[in-house]
Amino acid sequence: MIELGALALRLALVAAVYAVLAAVAGARLRRTDVVASSRAAAYAVNGLVVVATAVLLRALLQHDFSLEYVAAYSSSTLPTQYVAAALWGGQQGSLLFWTLLLTTMSTLVHLQNRDRNQALMPYVTTTLMTTAIFFLALTVFVTDPFERLPVPAREGADLNPLLQNYWMMIHPPSLYLGYVGCSVPFAFGMAALVTGRLGDVWIRTTRRWTLFAWFFLTIGNLLGARWAYEVLGWGGYWAWDPVENAAFMPWLACTAFLHSVMIQEKRNMLKMWNMVLVLLTFTLTIFGTFLTRSGVVSSVHSFTQSGLGPFFIGFLAVVIAVSVALLYLRRPLLRSENEIDSFLSREGAFLFNNLLLVGIAFATFWGTVFPVISEAVRGIKITVGPPFFNKVNTPLGLALLFMIGVGPVIAWRRSTARNLRRNFTIPVVAGVLTGVALLGTGLVGNYYAIVCFSLAAFVIATIVLEFYRGTRARQALMGEPPATALVHLVNKNRRRYGGYIIHVGVVLAFVGIAASAAFRVEEQRTMRAGDTVEVGGFALTYKGMRQADNPHVASMLAEIEVARGGRVIATMFPEKRFYKRQQQPTTEVAMRTTWREDLYLVLGSYDQESGLMTLQAFINPLVIWIWIGGIVMVLGTVVSVLPTAAEQRALAAALAVEERGLAVWSE
Amino acid sequence: MYRNRRFIAGALIIVVAVGYLIYTGVRETSVYYLTIDEFLSRREAVAGEGVRVAGRVAADSMQWNASTLDLKFRLANFAGSGGVDVTYNGVLPDMFAEGRDVIVEGTYAHDGVFRARTLMTSCPSKYEAEVPKT
């Protein structure tokens, strides 16, 4: 069976190479049959990778410890769902999993465009399959998931306990879907560059793919944060760790791209910039994988110091060199047909939003690779930590929050004073009042947080106003009752109103992040059974230690009685676990979440002899709103991704224009 | 062209702002990241400055007081020789133990003691288990 998996990977590599050659040859020679064969080869690659993945999964589920991968990342006592998750728990498996997602998306793209985009598709195939070749070559020649142990192990070493968590089961696949999804718009962008068909067809064709990728990147980032919050037990959810940054940077670039393509669709501008952004997004996804896989930057998550680094750098160099060369060759065609008329216009606002997003991405990139750069330049390693990222990104993030309010409602081309008054008077008043009210309640001390809350009120007011005015207009025009008018309003322009809903989610997340960063309370106390500690209005009483044991894990749970205002409201059990297979202790946080705050308890240490227990207690205000914001973003994306009739017509019209020029060679 | 130039000026403001933030951010928050050997050879030069040092917890050097949360250990190089005394107050990370690779961040004083503010356990093999060779 194992040989079948290894063989499938090798065949997939051959088929991918064929797909690339046939696609290019077919396009050059204008031979549809050759192009069709490249498409068939791309399907075959997908099928073979599915086989290889199935073989690995089967080996995992059957505990075939003769396989190095299975022995290294699972064990016979590991719960089944984590055995399956071990498929992406280790390096070889995660690369294979990446390849699986990439080739599956390639299949979907090919099916979707069977009869469309005939000029672009061969180069889309080329780009996707070249990426597949890279990953396949890694799994075949460098880090083989089907490597056998010289002597089969009797038992596996188990999956890292930190990964034995349900967030960790869904976080990597989600992030990978996001990463891999970015390669579709990139592939179309490259195809547009090669063929010189630089209109908005490639953008309209891939809009949904971009949203899909963005959607999963967003979820992936949030799930990662959630995982860190629940599992790492240091009281926070984001530490600006290189691995976190690796997922954050493509998200920023992808967000910028999603916004700037609207300017190209509406005003035929920023073509060059859009190409740069799609290239940036794709390279950042590869760079992100490189960061997590190469060990070049030391990280708390530090996966492994494998020899993969040079391969990734090589691939990145090729991607960047080819793309930049194409951009250079095509620059006459990428020139804008329009100019930005005024700062006070939607184009201007979007451009600034883009610059801010890219600015944040750059600052994050710089901070992440700074140790490497400083070592290369000055011969000494200098690092920057979370203070750097917070210091740089907080003001940029706040400016971005402001632009979220401005961008969607400011007029195209040029705003008149009247337009500005009409759209911004109420929101500005709302923002200022919020700020004044907060200062009045004595929340002084953290001005960034207050600015953030004021801006949040400003943005929410612009959005509410948009919904309100749109609904009123429909009520007046169509004579519909308010609720119907609202539903129809959103339905008629899902993309726009879905976008607004996403923005509401982003604002909620901003509020949660600002509140929990600025007003967090932290207390650490060593206690004996019976002791009580007061933290931010809670009285925490340590009642005693409980123990539990099973063949997989042994655990100790501190019983903590939580009281507020003299009334017992909960009993919580922060826990220390000991994973026997890996001989590793882990911390299991106990959490009590409300709309207002999370009470977050960590069993810091326990000394058996003296009976002393150290409790760490955190009160993190409004954290739940980050996750709620995430859910709102998900809903908004779903709304905006559903196609509307008008949009279908726009795509069909754009395609019709394209295909007319192609009638010749589809003969 | 006039309009475009104005726009480039606007964009430049953002670029300069980002650059300025990065520059001051690096200046104010960066710390040296040294291996224990590098640190030992220049410890007097970095005394009093924030520095991050990677090394290994020397065998039989760990003293841990569970009631005061005071920790003392010797940070040695990977061969287990040389080293500097480190003090730390706080909860121990899960992975902390003698023989483990750790990163300490704090300041070294001329009295020969490194006062760590943070203690990180960085095991390059953290997510990569050793395969039991049976």
* pLDDT, tens digit, 9 for 90 and up, residues A39-61: 999 999 999 999 999 999 999 99
- Same domain, yes or no: B65 and B104: yes
Q: Does any domain span residue B129?
A: no
Statement: residue A305 has pLDDT above 70:
no
Complex-level ipTM: 0.84
Contact B120 A300 (CB under 8 A): yes
**CA closest to A92 among chain B residues:** B128
Q: What values do phi and psi take at A643, rounded to 5?
A: -75, 145
What's the domain count of chain B?
Answer: 2
pTM for this entry: 0.91
Q: Is B16 on the interface with A (CB under 8 A)?
A: no
Statement: residue A499 has pLDDT above 90:
yes
- B chain contacts of residue A396, beta-carbon cutoff 8 Å: 17-18, 21
- Same domain, yes or no: B21 and B38: no
| Average pLDDT of the segment spanning A117-130 | 95
| Contact criterion met (CB below 8 Å) for A229 and A623 | yes
Residue ranges of domains in chain A: 1-164, 521-624
| Average pLDDT of the segment spanning A334-361 | 85
Give residue B18's domain range. Answer: 1-30
> Which of A370, A585, A616 faces B94 most closely, judged by CB atoms?
A585
CA dist A453 and A481 (Å) reads: 33
pLDDT > 70: what percent of chain A? 96
> Which of A72, A301, A385 faces B29 most closely, judged by CB atoms?
A385
Statement: residue A102 has pLDDT above 80:
yes
| Average pLDDT of the segment spanning A208-212 | 93
| Contact criterion met (CB below 8 Å) for A489 and A470 | yes
Grouping H, G, I as helix, E, B as strand and the rest as coil, residue B106 is strand
**Other Cβ atoms within 10 Å of B10 Cβ, number:** 16
- Same domain, yes or no: B7 and B64: no
Statement: residue A664 has pLDDT above 50:
no
Instruction: Quick: pLDDT tens for A365-393.
Output: 999 989 888 888 888 888 888 899 999 99
Instruction: Quick: pLDDT tens for B2-14.
Output: 556 777 787 888 8
- Same domain, yes or no: B21 and B41: no
CA dist A247 and A243 (Å) reads: 7
Instruction: Classify the phi-psi angles of A145: left when phi > 0, otherwise alpha if psi is within -120 to 50, otherwise beta.
Output: alpha
Greater confidence (A467 vs A265) lies with: A467
- B chain contacts of residue A584, beta-carbon cutoff 8 Å: 94-95
- A chain contacts of residue B5, beta-carbon cutoff 8 Å: none
CA dist A252 and A500 (Å) reads: 18
What pLDDT is recorded for position A460? 96
**H-type helices in A379-493, by residue range?**
386-406, 417-440, 447-478, 482-492
Q: Which of B2, B5, B7, B28 best probes binding to A when mutated, by most A CB atoms within 10 angstroms?
A: B7
Residue found by looking up tokens 């597949």 in the block = A132
| Average pLDDT of the segment spanning A477-491 | 89
What pLDDT is recorded for position A412? 82
| Contact criterion met (CB below 8 Å) for A341 and B4 | no
CA dist B96 and B75 (Å) reads: 12
Strands B70-76, B50-57: pairing kind: antiparallel
- Same domain, yes or no: B43 and B89: yes
- B chain contacts of residue A606, beta-carbon cutoff 8 Å: 66
DSSP code at position A141: I
CA dist A191 and A198 (Å) reads: 9
- B chain contacts of residue A355, beta-carbon cutoff 8 Å: 11, 14-15
Instruction: Quick: pLDDT tens for A160-208.
Output: 887 888 887 888 899 999 999 999 999 999 999 999 998 888 998 898 8
| Average pLDDT of the segment spanning A433-462 | 89
CA dist A157 and A69 (Å) reads: 10
- B chain contacts of residue A70, beta-carbon cutoff 8 Å: none
Contact B14 A359 (CB under 8 A): yes
Contact B33 A383 (CB under 8 A): yes
Rg of the Cα atoms in chain A: 27
> Which of A298, A339, A392 faces B21 most closely, judged by CB atoms?
A392
Q: Does any domain span residue B132?
A: no
- B1: confidence class by pLDDT, cuts 50, 70, 90: very low
- Same domain, yes or no: B113 and B96: yes
Across all residues in chain A, what is the average pLDDT? 90
Q: Is A383 on the interface with B (CB under 8 A)?
A: yes
Looking at chain B from residue 61 to 80, which residues have their Cβ under 8 Å from any Cβ of chain A?
66-69
Q: List the structure tokens of A356.
A: 């801010």
CA dist A584 and A162 (Å) reads: 10
How far apart are the CA of A160 and the nearest CA of chain B, in angstroms? 6
- A444: confidence class by pLDDT, cuts 50, 70, 90: low
pLDDT > 90: what percent of chain A? 61
How far apart are the CA of A81 and the nearest CA of chain B, in angstroms? 18
Q: Which of B29, B68, B92 best probes binding to A when mutated, by most A CB atoms within 10 angstroms?
A: B29
Statement: residue A450 has pLDDT above 80:
yes
CA dist A384 and B32 (Å) reads: 9
Statement: residue B122 has pLDDT above 70:
no
What pLDDT is recorded for position A563? 95
Q: Does any domain span residue B127?
A: no
CA dist B70 and A135 (Å) reads: 48
Q: Is B134 on the interface with A (CB under 8 A)?
A: yes
DSSP code at position A667: -
Contact A612 B66 (CB under 8 A): yes
- Same domain, yes or no: B62 and B110: yes
Q: Does any domain span residue B113?
A: yes
How far apart are the CA of A387 and the nearest CA of chain B, in angstroms? 6
| Average pLDDT of the segment spanning A213-230 | 93
- The full length of chain A comes to 667
For residue A612, how far is the Cα from the chain centroid?
A: 42
What pLDDT is recorded for position B127? 41
For residue A77, how far is the Cα from the chain centroid?
A: 32
> Which of A149, A582, A607 faces B129 most closely, judged by CB atoms?
A582
Q: Is B131 on the interface with A (CB under 8 A)?
A: yes
Q: Which helix (H) or strand (E) holds A625?
A: helix A624-641
| Contact criterion met (CB below 8 Å) for A551 and A561 | no
CA dist A417 and A233 (Å) reads: 52
CA dist A27 and A123 (Å) reads: 8
Q: Does any domain span residue B130?
A: no
CA dist A614 and A233 (Å) reads: 14
- A223: confidence class by pLDDT, cuts 50, 70, 90: very high
Looking at chain B from residue 91 to 120, which residues have their Cβ under 8 Å from any Cβ of chain A?
91-92, 94-95, 103, 105, 120
- B chain contacts of residue A155, beta-carbon cutoff 8 Å: 132
- B129: confidence class by pLDDT, cuts 50, 70, 90: very low
Q: Does any domain span residue B134?
A: no
Residue found by looking up tokens 């110091």 in the block = A305
Amino acid letter, residue A237 = Y
Q: List the structure tokens of A177.
A: 């879907």
Q: List the structure tokens of A564.
A: 């507020």
- A298: confidence class by pLDDT, cuts 50, 70, 90: low
Statement: residue A642 has pLDDT above 90:
no
Grouping H, G, I as helix, E, B as strand and the rest as coil, residue B104 is strand
- Same domain, yes or no: B9 and B58: no
User: How many degrees, rounded to 5, is the angle at CA B132 between CA B126 and CA B133?
Assistant: 135
- B chain contacts of residue A371, beta-carbon cutoff 8 Å: 33
What pLDDT is recorded for position A661? 54
- A469: confidence class by pLDDT, cuts 50, 70, 90: very high
CA dist A567 and A544 (Å) reads: 19
Statement: residue A582 has pLDDT above 90:
no
> CB neighbours of B26 closer than 8 A, spacing ≥ 6?
A367, A370, A382, A384, A388
Instruction: Quick: pLDDT tens for B44-100.
Output: 888 888 898 888 898 888 898 877 889 999 999 877 677 899 999 988 887 788 888
- Same domain, yes or no: B35 and B24: no
Contact A384 B128 (CB under 8 A): no
| Contact criterion met (CB below 8 Å) for A160 and A94 | no
Greater confidence (A666 vs A48) lies with: A48
Looking at chain A from residue 241 to 300, which residues have their Cβ under 8 Å from any Cβ of chain B?
295, 298-300
Q: Which residue, A341, A388, A397, A348, is CA-closest to A366?
A: A388
| Average pLDDT of the segment spanning A235-243 | 89
CA dist A274 and A257 (Å) reads: 6
The DSSP line for A548-593 is EE-SSEEEEEEEEEEEETTEEEEEE--EEEEETTTTEEEEE-EEEE
Q: Is A21 exposed, middle or buried (0-12, 13-18, 19+ CB in 10 A)?
A: middle
Q: Which of B22, B65, B101, B122 best probes binding to A when mutated, by most A CB atoms within 10 angstroms?
A: B22
How far apart are the CA of B13 and the nearest CA of chain A, in angstroms? 10
